[in-house]
Amino acid sequence: MAVCPECENALSIDADEVEEGDVVLCDECGAEYEIVSTEPLEFTKMEDEGYEDEDSSTFAAEEEE
């Protein structure tokens, strides 16, 4: 399950329905994330200025058991 690093809310991302480059939004805090990989599911926070910060991190969704 993907979790928002900002507010720890569960993100509803279905890896079968997204593609690399898609943008997903956290329903709780409004943070935007870009999908960087679907296998495994990984995403990175989008910066407000329209470019990624040098310190931006990529987050991986936990695998469901």
Please tell me the predicted confidence (pLDDT) of residue 17: 92
Please tell me the predicted confidence (pLDDT) of residue 19: 94
Host domain of residue 36: 2-60
Region 56-60 average pLDDT? 67
> Is there a domain that residue 23 lies in?
yes
> Is there a domain that residue 6 lies in?
yes
Q: Tokens for 15?
A: 């890896």
ω into 40 cis (within 30 of 0): yes
17: CATH: 2.20.28.160
> Is there a domain that residue 12 lies in?
yes
- Answer for the pair 20, 36: CB distance below 8 angstroms, yes or no: yes
Domain count, the chain: 1
Q: Which pTM was predicted? A: 0.72
> Is there a domain that residue 56 lies in?
yes
DSSP secondary structure string for all residues of 15-41: TTT--TT-EEE-TTT--EEEEEEETTE
> Is there a domain that residue 65 lies in?
no
